[in-house]
Each structure stands twice: as structure tokens, then as C-alpha cells.
Structure 1
Amino acid sequence: MEKAECKYRAYVQILKEELIPAMGCTEPIALAYAAAVAKKTLGAIPDKVVVGASGSIIKNVKSVIVPNTGHLKGIPAAVAAGIVAGDPDKELEVISCVTPDQISEMKQFMEETEIGVVHIDNGITFDILITLYKGSSTCTVRIANYHTNIVLIEKDGTVLKQLDAGIEEEALTDRSILSMEDIWDFINTVDIADIKETLDRQIRYNWAIAEEGLTNDYGANIGKVLLKSAGSDISLKAKAMAAAGSDARMNGCELPVIINSGSGNQGITVSVPVIVYARELGVSEETMYRALALSNLTSIHQKTPIGRLSAYCGAVNAGAGAGAGIAYLCGGGYEEVIHTVVNALAIVSGIVCDGAKASCAAKIASSIEAGIFGYSMYSHGQQFLDGDGIVTKGVEATLKNVGRLGKKGMKETNEEIIKIMIGE
């Protein structure tokens, strides 16, 4: 792919747009961001808060610890953090700088302030509507479709900002230009200088949280459990390191991660196993960068038709992406890469997303295992063929089926999961 091509520049930009830092699970952080923007616009600490959230937001916030809150969970905690200590200019790092006094203030705010939470359904999977009240003054902020997409700011009946909430990700580079063939072309021809800064930050941040997960006690400690039996097995070490990053992230660790497709868990999954393999195999730094670009873009390509939130576990896409990157590191060519992806998806596409929580780390490990096994299968002359369930002829056609499954097929599944989680 020539550097002067529009597509080349678009692929570089997609990586820059997707691989951004976030602290904690991105759904509660989006709530904190909306709350921080609303508080700044209102100009005062509110005496009443009403939070409207779509089912998928409720699902993904219910069980995860919000960082820098003293281990608080849930929507009220995320909103309180944004109001009391949020810096809206930091977007998904909105609560990255919190003092001990502010943590005490959050708890006091939650005790003294009415914070109502209502389930809203405006036909948008990702939907947050926060209204703050201070005496006769009000401010409403709405985020729709993705984590930083503010579509409404209204104060005292005056609309300060309004966008069409029905348009998904209009401000982002068109992801429909992605294809496995073009991704392969791009990662083999890209000038590393164009992606190095973006990937260096991913390596630095995500490796740090993986090490933190192995060092301290987080959640179910899936990473530690896996590492105890890893020995010299590189595949087990890759799963353990990635799972440890999720252990930490889902259970209150205050380190940021570089996300992928709006998700920190997916960002960890596409990067940490590839870094493990690159270092264990002793490949050049350039080769590692190309493998990471392949893993990241492959995951983004799979996730685009599904959308940011679904009942389809995003770790599956990321694990298949990691498998593609690992196949490349092991000397695989284009055929090995695309068959790795298809094989992996055929194995684990049934994993459901029942919100962000400790068990995400185990799902990540399973998805990475499927990615690695998908490559091993093809290396031994085996593959899943056209007609094997959702697998069909051609990698793009199979990815289209997976997108359909995740977005349309699992819509009712998502609704049932939400009902189970909120006790309906």
C-alpha cells in the first residue's frame, strides 16, 4: 500500500482514533465524563441527579469497580466521581487525578444527594442521559453511540450543543474501508514511524497493567492461576498476562489502558499476548509493531459491524485478532492469518457479554486460546470449512456472518441478559 494513498492515511488514522487511553471500564468512565461535562456546564455541585441509561450501559456498569473511588461500584459511583473530581478535558481519563479528600467527598455526595437511575430505550444501544439540578437551574448532557460522543448539552432550557444521535460515529474515519486483504497489505508496507508512537503507548500502558495484575490481588486472579501452570509454555504465559491485565482493570486498578473498539479489555487482549510472543521469540521491534498493527486492525474490522456494545463478547474478536498477530510472528503469511481468524471465530463465537466484571479475564483467556489454537490447526493442515455453522466461503463473508450474529442475532439475548442482571 502506497503511503500517498488515501486508504493508507485512513488506516493510520483509525489506529490513532481507536488506540486511546482510558482509566477503568469505559462505560462507567463515559458516565463520569458526561457527569463532569454537566457539572462544568452547570457551574455548581448539584443537589439532585437523574441518570438515564440504556440497558447495555446498565449491564456494563453494574458489577465493575470504578477506579479512584475507594472501590465503589455502579452508576451512582461513576456519576459522583465525575461530578466531584472529574476533569472533562481529559475525556476517558476524566477521573485519573483524584485526591483522597475527593474520594471522601464522593461518598458524602452519594449519601446526601438524590441520584436517580432510570432505564431508557431510545433504540440506541449506547445511550447516556444525565440531568443535574441546582435550585431552579438544570443541565442535561447526552452521550450516544460511543464513549465520548456528546450529542446534547442543554442548560436551563437553552441548547448549547446538539447532534443527531441516530448517526453512529460520524466524526470517526470510515471503518467500512477495512478488509483483511488491505490490512495485510498495510501492515507489511506501513512506515513504522507513522504508527510507532501509537503502538509504543499501547505496549507501555497495557504491559504495565498486566504486570500489576500479576503482582497484586485483583478479582478472581485468573492471570495468577494460569501462570502457576504455565511453566515454559508461551501460549499459557500469553493468556496469563492478558488475563492479569483484565483482573486488575475490572477490579479497581487505577492504571490506564490503551483501548481497542472502545474497550480496555479488548485493548489488552489484542496487545499483551502479541507482546509476549514477540519477546519470547526474539523478533525485531519492527516485526512486533507490524504484528500489533495486524492484531489491532483485525479486531477493529471484526467489531465494526457489531457495534460498541452487544451481547456478543468483544474479547472473541480481540482474541482472534491476537491470533492473527501471533500467526504473523510465527512466520505465517496471509493464508495462515485469515484461516487463524476464521478458525478462532468458529470456536468461541458463542461467548456472551454479561457485563464488565471479574470473569471477563477468563473469557479473555479462552478467546486468546482459540486464536492460538486456530493458528495451530491451520499449521497442521486443518481448518473449518464452508458450511461449518456460521463459517462460509471467504474470510470477509465469514466476518459478515459474525457481524450479523453479534448485532442482530444477539439483540434479544442482550435484552434477556439485562433483565436477568437488573432482576426483572
Structure 2
Amino acid sequence: MNKNGSTYQIYVEILKRELVPAMGCTEPIAIAYCAAKAREALGTVPDRLVVTASGNIIKNVKSVVVPNTDGRRGIEAAAAIGVVAGDAHAALEVIAHVTAADKARLAGYLDTATITVEAAVSEHVLDIIVSASKGDDTAEVQIVNEHTNIVKITRNGKILFQKEIAATVDTGKPDYECMTIEDIYDFAMTCDLEDVRAILDRQIAYNTAIADEGLKNDYGANIGKTLLKAFGNDIHIRARARAAAGSDARMNGCELPVIINSGSGNQGMTVSLPVIEYAKEVGATKEQLYRALLLANLVTLHEKEGIGRLSAYCGAVSAGAGAGAGIAWLCGGDYQAVIHTIVNALAITSGIVCDGAKASCAAKISAAVDAGIMGFEMYRNGQQFYGGDGLVLKGVENTIRNISRLGRIGMKETDKEIIDMMIGK
């Protein structure tokens, strides 16, 4: 691919925009960020908070441990730590530098402040409004569509900042719709690695560190450890275990950051850690690892673009297929191997639903990585799923479009039912 061409530059910008650090599950972190911004706009620590959130935000915050809160879970904890100790200018690392003194103040704040949680009546899947008050003063901040995408800030009814919600997804955003698997493969194979080295080095370092932490200590259901104990140390198991261990740690309060993909730390770990483990196994060079990660990350982003950031469709499915693509190439596969791996993997795990961020995400990640590996093993053993096998259509882009339609449109009612069940309706 021509380095000076617009498509090449779009891919580089997408990677810079997407592969960024986040400390903690991105939905509670988005609430903490919104609350920190509301405190900043108010000009003091509020004693009353109202958090109005869309169903998918409620779903993904309800059961996950918020880092730096001494094991607390849920929306109230996320909003409170954002108010008490959040860095309003640190985006998804808003609570990355909380001190012991901050944690001590958190308990007192939760005891004295009034925090109310309400369900948003919104057409947006990702919608958060934090209203903060003290005395007669009020401030309100709204985030829509993406986890740090602030669309409105007010103080005492006066608008301090506002932009049209309809335009928010386009503001400063590269043209994701130009992506195709064919172009992604071309870019990954020809990219000047100096353009992406720092991005990928950070992904390798951060995500490896949290996987190590998950395997070393006790987090959640310890899916990563269980895989190794029950099934041994084969590369297929290690690839699944490393990704699962990262999620074990992250879903259960680990205070290490991860590099996300498609707005999700779980997806960022799923797409990268198995590829890193396979690179060690096959003795890949650093350049080969970089190119495999480029392929895996961009395949995942392409798959997720049609589904959306949040839905009833488990994001690990897309990331597992992306990891499978990277693994296929590392193991000597060509473009044909990559596209068949993607289709096979999506066919295997196309029915996994997202019922919120929590400990069991690690097990779903393991299943999605297994599907990615199985998709490649099918191909190199002369097996594949054909057009007409369930959601599979002839052509990788057609299959991706079907999966996108399933996640974005077909599972809308499923999403509503999941949310209703989770909040006890």
C-alpha cells in the first residue's frame, strides 16, 4: 500500500485513535470521567449527583469492580471516585492516579453524598448524563456515542460547551467505512513499522503486564489459571489462558491499564495476547509480531464498526476472530488463510450475547480465542464453512456484514430483555 496514499494514512490514524490506554472497564470509567468533568464545571465537590445512563451502560457497570475503590462495584462507586479523585483531563485514565488518601475520602463521600441512578430514555446506545449539585449551584455533563465524547457541559443552566450529537461520531474521526479485509491485509504486510511501532510496543507491554498479573494473583473466577491447570501448557491453551487472565484481573479491580480496541479493554486483550503468545511459540521476529498485531487489530475494528461500540453481541467474538487472523498469518498462512479463518471463527461463536462486564467475560474470551484458533486449524486441514451455513455468506465482507446486521439490528430486542433481567424488571 502506498504510504503517501489517503487509505494508508487513514489506517494509521485509526490505530492511533483506537489503541489507547484505559484503566478499568471502559463503561464505569466513562461514568467516572463524566462525573469528574461535572465536578470541574461546578467548581467544587458536589453533595448531590444524578447519573442518568442508557441501558448498555447500566448493564456494563452493574457487576464490574471499579479500580481504586477498594473493591466497590457499580455506578455509584464509579461516579463517586470520579468526583473525589478523578483527573478531568485524563479521559480513560481518569482514575489511574488515585492515592491512598483519595480512597480514604471515597468511603466518607459515599456515606454523605446523595447519588441517584436513573435509566436514560435515549436513542443512543451509549449515553451518560451526570448532574452535580451543591447548594443552589448545578452542573451537567453529557457523553454520547463514544466513551469520552462530551457533547454538552452546563453550569447553572448556562451552556459552557455544546456540539451537535448527530455530528459527534464524525468529528475528527477517520473514515472507518473505507476498511476492507483486503486493504487491511495489504496495509499490515507493507506498513512502514516506524509509523506504528510506538503504538504496538505499548499494546504489547501493557496487555502482557496485566495478563501476568492475572496469572500470578487471585482475581474473579481465575479462568486463566483454571485453563492451564485443567488442560496443560499447549500453545492453544496458553493463548486462551493469557487473554482470559487479563480479563480476570481487569474485571475484578486490577489497577493496571490496558490498551483497548473498539473502546473495550477486554477486546484489546483478546485481540493481542493470543497473537503475542503464538509469536513466541513459532519464534517470530519482532517485525512479524508487529504485522500480525496490525492485522488482528484492524480486522477486529472492521468487524466492530458495523455492530457498534455496545450491543447485545459479545465483542470478544469479533476480537477472537481478529486474533485468529493474526495467528493464521504467523503460522505461515496467506490472505486466503486469513479470510477463511475469520469466516470460520465468526460462524463458530456468532451467538454469544453480552450480559454486561463481569468475571465471566474471561470465560467468553477463552471461547472466542478458541474459535479463532479453531477457524485457522479448520482451514489448514482443508475444512471450512460455506455460504448458506447459518449466517455465513460467500465472501468474507458479506459474512462480516451479516454479523454486523445481527449485532446491530437483530439483537436489539435481545439487548432490551438482557437489560430488563439484569435490573430486575
1:276 alignment counterpart: 277
**Partner SS, residue 170 of structure 1:** coil
| Maintained 8 Å contact 1:64/1:357 | yes
Compute the displacement of 1:167 (Å): 3.6
Q: Which residue of 2 aligns with 1:325?
A: 326
**1:52 partner amino acid:** T
Cα deviation 1:215-239 (Å, max 9, x = unaligned): 0000000000011144341010000
> Cα deviations across residues 94-130 of structure 1 (Å, max 9, x unaligned)?
0011111211211111111110100012100000000
Give the structure 1 partner of residue 66 of structure 2: 66
Structure 2 residue 246 is matched with structure 1 residue 245: yes
Q: What is the rounded CA distance, in whole Å, between the counterparts of 1:173 and 1:126 in structure 2?
A: 20
In the alignment, the residues of structure 1 paired with residue 377 and residue 393 of structure 2 have an alpha-carbon distance, to the nearest angstrom, of 20
- Is residue 401 of structure 2 the alignment partner of residue 400 of structure 1? yes
Q: What's the secondary structure of 1:88's corresponding residue?
A: coil
Deviation at 1:2, TM superposition (A): 0.5
The corresponding residue for 1:117 is 117
Note if contact 2:149-2:168 (Cα within 8 Å) is conserved in structure 1: no
For 1:285 and 1:45, the matched residues in 2 are separated by 48
- Residue equivalent to 2:53: 53
Distance 1:168 1:398 in 2: 29
2:90 aligned with 1:84:
no
Counterpart in the other structure of 1:174: 175
> Which letter maps to 1:157?
G
Query: Which residue type is aligned with residue 244 of structure 1?
Result: A
Distance 1:3 1:246 in 2: 36
List aligned pairs for 1:342-353, cutoff 5 A: 342-353=343-354
What does residue 314 of structure 1 align with? 315
Please list, as runs of the form range in 1=range in 2, the aligned pairs for 1:309-388 lying within 5 A after superposition. Answer: 309-388=310-389
In the alignment, is residue 94 of structure 1 matched against residue 94 of structure 2? yes
User: 1:254 matched to which residue of 2?
Assistant: 255
Q: Is the 8 A contact 2:138 2:155 kept in 1?
A: yes
- Counterpart code for 1:199: L
CA distance in 1, matches of 2:29, 2:390: 37
* Matching residue of 1:200: 201
Please give the TM-score of this superposition, normalised by the length of structure 1: 0.99
159-168 or 135-144, which deviates more: 159-168
Query: Which stretches of structure 1, 4 residues or more, deviate above 6 A after TM superposition?
Result: none
Structure-2 residue corresponding to 1:423: 424
Task: Give the Cα–Cα distance (whole angstroms) in 2 for the partners of residues 358 and 130 of structure 1.
Answer: 27
CA RMSD of aligned residues (A): 0.8
Aligned to 1:412, the other structure's residue is in SS state: helix
SS in 2 for 1:254: coil
- Name the structure 2 match of 1:219: 220
In structure 2, give the amino acid aligned to 1:343: N
- How much does 1:88 deviate? 1.3
Cα distance in 1 between the residues matched to 2:167 and 2:344: 33
Asked if 1:35 corresponds to 2:32, the answer is no
The answer to whether the 8 A contact 1:230-1:237 is kept is no
Q: Secondary structure at the match of 1:52?
A: strand
Structure 1: distance between partners of 2:80 and 2:178: 40
Name the CA distance, whole Å, in 1 between partners of 2:409 and 2:323. 25
Alignment-mate amino acid for residue 220 of structure 2: G
Partner of 2:142: 142
Distance 1:167 1:190 in 2: 31
Alpha-carbon distance in 2 for matches of 1:307, 1:214 = 31
Mapped to 2, the partners of 1:305 and 1:169 lie a distance apart of 13
Which residue number in structure 2 is paired with residue 10 of structure 1? 10
1:163-206 per-residue CA deviation (whole Å, 9 max, x = no partner) reads 12234521321210110000011001000111100000000000
Is the 1:27–1:57 contact (alpha carbons within 8 Å) kept by the matching residues of 2? yes
Is the Cα–Cα contact under 8 Å of residues 34 and 142 in structure 1 kept in the other structure? Answer: yes
Letter in 2 for 1:414: D
The separation in 2 between residues aligned to 1:228 and 1:258, in whole angstroms, is: 27
Give the aligned partner of residue 211 of structure 2.
210
Distance 2:32 2:299 in 1: 30
Is the 1:327–1:375 contact (alpha carbons within 8 Å) kept by the matching residues of 2?
Answer: yes
CA distance in 2, matches of 1:101, 1:283: 45
Which letter maps to 2:78?
Answer: A
Amino acid at match of 1:155: R
Distance 1:267 1:182 in 2: 21
Q: Which runs of 5+ in 1 are unaligned?
A: none
> Hey, what's the Cα distance between the residues in 1 that align with 2:5 and 2:65?
44
The alignment partner of 1:147 has SS state of coil
In the alignment, which residue of structure 1 is the partner of 2:237?
236
**Hey, what does 1:108 align to over in structure 2?**
108
Give structure 2 stretches of 5+ with no counterpart: none
| SS of the residue 1:29 aligns to | helix
Task: State the secondary structure of the residue aligned to 1:89.
Answer: coil
- TM-score, normalization: structure 2? 0.99
Query: In structure 1, what is the Cα distance between the partners aligned to 2:98 and 2:127?
Result: 26
1:242-283: per-residue Cα shift (whole Å, max 9, x none)?
100000000000000000000000000000000000011111
Percent identity of equivalent pairs: 59
Deviation string for 1:296-322 (max 9, x for gaps)? 000000000111000000000000000
